[in-house]
Homo-oligomer: A and B are copies of this chain.
Protein backbone atom coordinates (compact mmCIF):
# COMPACT_ATOMS: atom_id res chain seq x y z
CA UNK A 1 0.00 0.00 0.00
CA UNK A 2 1.56 3.25 -1.10
CA UNK A 3 -0.35 5.29 1.44
CA UNK A 4 -2.35 4.17 4.44
CA UNK A 5 -6.05 4.80 4.78
CA UNK A 6 -5.24 7.07 7.69
CA UNK A 7 -3.23 9.29 5.40
CA UNK A 8 -5.96 9.37 2.77
CA UNK A 9 -8.64 10.21 5.31
CA UNK A 10 -6.47 12.86 6.95
CA UNK A 11 -5.93 14.52 3.60
CA UNK A 12 -9.59 14.38 2.72
CA UNK A 13 -10.54 15.83 6.09
CA UNK A 14 -8.09 18.72 5.90
CA UNK A 15 -9.06 19.52 2.33
CA UNK A 16 -12.72 19.54 3.22
CA UNK A 17 -12.21 21.97 6.07
CA UNK A 18 -9.78 24.08 4.07
CA UNK A 19 -12.25 24.40 1.22
CA UNK A 20 -15.38 25.17 3.18
CA UNK A 21 -14.28 27.00 6.32
CA UNK A 22 -14.31 30.27 4.45
CA UNK A 23 -17.50 32.05 5.35
CA UNK A 24 -18.48 29.53 7.99
CA UNK A 25 -17.60 29.27 11.64
CA UNK A 26 -16.80 25.63 12.33
CA UNK A 27 -17.35 22.39 10.49
CA UNK A 28 -18.53 19.33 12.37
CA UNK A 29 -17.09 15.86 12.12
CA UNK A 30 -20.56 14.52 11.40
CA UNK A 31 -20.82 16.54 8.21
CA UNK A 32 -17.28 15.78 7.05
CA UNK A 33 -17.64 12.04 7.52
CA UNK A 34 -21.06 11.99 5.89
CA UNK A 35 -20.09 13.96 2.81
CA UNK A 36 -16.76 12.24 2.31
CA UNK A 37 -18.25 8.82 3.16
CA UNK A 38 -15.45 8.09 5.55
CA UNK A 39 -15.90 6.14 8.82
CA UNK A 40 -16.91 8.77 11.32
CA UNK A 41 -15.17 7.75 14.53
CA UNK A 42 -12.03 6.70 12.77
CA UNK A 43 -11.86 10.06 11.05
CA UNK A 44 -12.50 11.62 14.44
CA UNK A 45 -9.31 10.18 15.85
CA UNK A 46 -7.34 11.40 12.88
CA UNK A 47 -8.83 14.89 13.02
CA UNK A 48 -8.02 14.91 16.71
CA UNK A 49 -4.33 14.48 15.94
CA UNK A 50 -4.47 17.14 13.25
CA UNK A 51 -5.85 19.47 15.88
CA UNK A 52 -3.15 18.58 18.38
CA UNK A 53 -0.49 19.31 15.77
CA UNK A 54 -2.04 22.66 15.01
CA UNK A 55 -2.79 21.73 11.42
CA UNK A 56 -6.42 22.45 12.16
CA UNK A 57 -8.30 24.27 14.87
CA UNK A 58 -10.65 22.06 16.84
CA UNK A 59 -13.20 23.39 19.29
CA UNK A 60 -15.37 21.37 21.63
CA UNK A 61 -18.93 22.02 22.63
CA UNK A 62 -21.61 24.36 21.37
CA UNK A 63 -20.78 25.78 17.94
CA UNK A 64 -17.68 23.66 18.04
CA UNK A 65 -16.06 21.76 15.22
CA UNK A 66 -13.02 22.09 13.03
CA UNK A 67 -11.56 25.07 11.22
CA UNK A 68 -8.40 26.27 9.58
CA UNK A 69 -5.46 27.56 11.58
CA UNK A 70 -2.63 29.86 10.50
CA UNK A 71 -0.61 26.84 9.46
CA UNK A 72 -3.28 24.83 7.65
CA UNK A 73 -2.49 26.08 4.17
CA UNK A 74 1.24 26.02 4.74
CA UNK A 75 1.22 22.37 5.82
CA UNK A 76 3.04 20.09 3.38
CA UNK A 77 1.67 16.64 2.70
CA UNK A 78 4.87 15.30 4.21
CA UNK A 79 3.64 16.40 7.62
CA UNK A 80 0.47 14.38 7.21
CA UNK A 81 2.44 11.36 6.01
CA UNK A 82 4.74 11.58 9.01
CA UNK A 83 1.75 11.87 11.29
CA UNK A 84 0.27 8.65 9.93
CA UNK A 85 3.55 6.76 9.94
CA UNK A 86 3.71 6.46 6.19
CA UNK A 87 7.22 7.85 5.91
CA UNK A 88 8.93 5.11 7.89
CA UNK A 89 7.36 2.63 5.50
CA UNK A 90 8.73 4.51 2.52
CA UNK A 91 12.22 4.29 3.95
CA UNK A 92 12.15 0.60 4.78
CA UNK A 93 14.10 -1.83 2.62
CA UNK A 94 12.19 -3.73 -0.05
CA UNK A 95 13.71 -6.94 1.27
CA UNK A 96 11.75 -6.80 4.44
CA UNK A 97 14.12 -8.75 6.63
CA UNK A 98 16.77 -6.08 6.11
CA UNK A 99 17.38 -2.57 7.35
CA UNK A 100 17.83 -0.13 4.47
CA UNK A 101 21.43 0.91 4.41
CA UNK A 102 23.51 2.86 1.91
CA UNK A 103 26.72 1.12 2.91
CA UNK A 104 25.42 -2.40 2.61
CA UNK A 105 22.70 -1.94 0.01
CA UNK A 106 20.37 -4.62 -1.26
CA UNK A 107 20.31 -5.26 -5.02
CA UNK A 108 17.39 -2.87 -5.47
CA UNK A 109 18.57 -0.10 -3.20
CA UNK A 110 20.24 2.10 -5.79
CA UNK A 111 17.32 1.75 -8.18
CA UNK A 112 14.76 2.61 -5.54
CA UNK A 113 16.49 5.46 -3.77
CA UNK A 114 15.85 8.00 -6.58
CA UNK A 115 12.17 7.10 -6.63
CA UNK A 116 11.96 7.63 -2.91
CA UNK A 117 13.54 11.04 -3.31
CA UNK A 118 10.93 11.98 -5.86
CA UNK A 119 8.13 10.95 -3.54
CA UNK A 120 9.62 12.98 -0.75
CA UNK A 121 10.09 15.96 -3.01
CA UNK A 122 6.45 15.72 -4.04
CA UNK A 123 5.22 15.40 -0.47
CA UNK A 124 7.48 18.08 0.92
CA UNK A 125 6.82 20.45 -1.96
CA UNK A 126 3.04 20.23 -2.00
CA UNK A 127 1.02 22.02 0.65
CA UNK A 128 -2.65 21.93 1.49
CA UNK A 129 -2.77 25.46 0.14
CA UNK A 130 -1.40 24.30 -3.20
CA UNK A 131 -4.17 21.76 -3.54
CA UNK A 132 -6.92 24.15 -2.56
CA UNK A 133 -5.73 27.33 -4.28
CA UNK A 134 -8.30 28.77 -6.66
CA UNK A 135 -10.78 25.96 -6.12
CA UNK A 136 -14.41 26.61 -5.40
CA UNK A 137 -16.51 24.52 -3.01
CA UNK A 138 -17.68 22.41 -5.94
CA UNK A 139 -14.19 20.97 -5.78
CA UNK A 140 -15.49 18.83 -2.93
CA UNK A 141 -16.72 16.49 -5.62
CA UNK A 142 -13.16 15.56 -6.46
CA UNK A 143 -12.23 14.61 -2.92
CA UNK A 144 -15.31 12.65 -1.92
CA UNK A 145 -16.11 9.06 -2.73
CA UNK A 146 -17.12 8.04 -6.22
Residues in A lying within 8 Å of B, measured CB to CB:
1-3, 5, 7-9, 11-12, 15, 36-38, 77, 89-90, 92-99, 101, 104-108, 111-112, 115, 118-119, 122, 126, 131-132, 135, 139, 141-146
Question: Which residues from chain B contact A142 at a C-beta distance below 8 Å?
Answer: 104-107
Please measure, in the bound complex, the distance between the C-alpha atom of A131 and the C-alpha atom of B7, giving whole angstroms. Answer: 33
Q: For A5, what are the chain B residues with a Cβ–Cβ distance below 8 Å?
A: 96
Each complex incorporates copies of this chain amounting to 2
Partner among B12, B99, B104 whose Cβ is within 8 Å of the Cβ of A97: B12
B126 lies within 8 A of A95 (CB): no
Q: Which of B1, B95, B111, B119 contacts A8 (CB 8 A)?
A: B95
Q: Which residue of B lies closest to A142 (CB)?
A: B106
Which one of B95, B115, B119 contacts A11 once the chains associate, using CB atoms below 8 Å?
Answer: B95
User: Across the interface, which residues of B come within 8 angstroms of A132, CB to CB?
Assistant: 107
Q: Which residue of B lies closest to A108 (CB)?
A: B131
User: Is B146's CB under 8 angstroms from A126's CB?
Assistant: no
* Pick from B95, B98, B119, B146: contact of A98, CB under 8 Å: B146
Distance (whole angstroms) from the CB of A16 to the closest CB of chain B: 11
Interchain CB contact (< 8 A) of A107 among B15, B37, B101, B112: B15
